[in-house]
Structure 1
Amino acid sequence: MSITALHHVQLAMPIGGEDAAREFFAGPLGLTEVPKPADMAARGGCWFEKGEVRLHLGVEADFRPARKAHPALLVEDLPSLVDRLRTNGTTLAEGDPLEGFAHRWFVDDPFGNRIELLQPAT
């Protein structure tokens, strides 16, 4: 037995946050919303993906944003994404240099969950 891959990452969001999630994750981040299985759809939340990246947002009644734990997304043209996010009114913080990466930024989703954005060095 061995673990072969990471299937998805789940972030929590407050009740009723689906529209804000769609606006952010399908908007400037460019992920595609995919339907949740019928037996899970009634719970709320929404799922997004692009290629092998799968990000699930689940409703949590006693929601508290993840400030330390976070997903890190690899981005091909991070400066362009940073510009799109800024145009969208999103606040970003440039991260300290990290070996093997040309650019590193942090952003909060609409609910305050921390997300790291990385562009690998060429």
Structure 2
Amino acid sequence: MPSQLISGLDHVQIEAPAGHEPQARQFYGDFLGLPELDKPEVLRPNGGVWFALPDGRQLHTGTVAAFVPRDKGHPCLRSDQLDALLERATRLQIAFEPDTRLAPLRRVYFQDPFGNRLEVVEGAHPAVPLSG
């Protein structure tokens, strides 16, 4: 089998209820500072919002009729300014939960406006391939 069949991650999609777009823009756009992308015309009737990440990847929100928040599975975003993000969250009264289990790695969990879990890590999780 050829190696490196997958060259990277393009985007993650977060599920949300119908009509979620204004709240998604406020949380992912205004709070987290992610610029909104122009969603392809053919997909606009489906609802949802697309956001750009600084590394070229994307975060999408997608409308789900029978929406159920994801409290375990989640995307993890990186921040080089975690203290500033947490100060901003405190100022805007956005709750977060620090997690010290992987210290010295710093990470926190948020819930988006729809109850989905979102992790933010300072720097990056180390990637150590399994040997063997």
TM-score when normalising by structure 1 = 0.92
Equivalent residue pairs, number:
120
1:25 to 12, 28, 33: 28
Q: Displaced runs of 4+ in structure 1, greater than 6 A?
A: none
Are residue 76 (structure 1) and residue 113 (structure 2) matched?
Answer: no
Alpha-carbon distance in structure 1 between the residues aligned to 2:51 and 2:70: 18
The CA RMSD over aligned residues, in Å, is 1.4
- The answer to whether the Cα contact below 8 Å between 1:97 and 1:104 also exists between their aligned partners in 2 is no
Alpha-carbon distance in structure 1 between the residues aligned to 2:104 and 2:76: 14
Pick the structure with greater CA Rg.
2
2:116 to 89, 98, 113: 113
Give the C-alpha shift of residue 14 in structure 1. 0.4
Residues 76-115 of structure 1 mapped to structure 2, 5 A cutoff: 76-98=80-102, 101=105, 103-115=106-118
Are residue 10 (structure 1) and residue 10 (structure 2) matched?
Answer: no
Alpha-carbon distance in structure 2 between the residues aligned to 1:36 and 1:100: 38
Higher strand share: 1
Residue identity (%)? 37
**Residue in 1 that maps onto 2:71:** 67
Q: Give the gaps of 5 or more residues in structure 1.
A: none
Q: Give the gaps of 5 or more residues in structure 2.
A: 125-132
Give the C-alpha shift of residue 100 in structure 1. 6.2
- The answer to whether the Cα contact below 8 Å between 1:74 and 1:120 also exists between their aligned partners in 2 is yes
Alpha-carbon distance in structure 2 between the residues aligned to 1:69 and 1:119: 19
Give the C-alpha shift of residue 99 in structure 1. 5.3
SS at match of 1:74: strand
SS at match of 1:42: helix
Alpha-carbon distance in structure 2 between the residues aligned to 1:86 and 1:75: 16
TM-score when normalising by structure 2 = 0.86
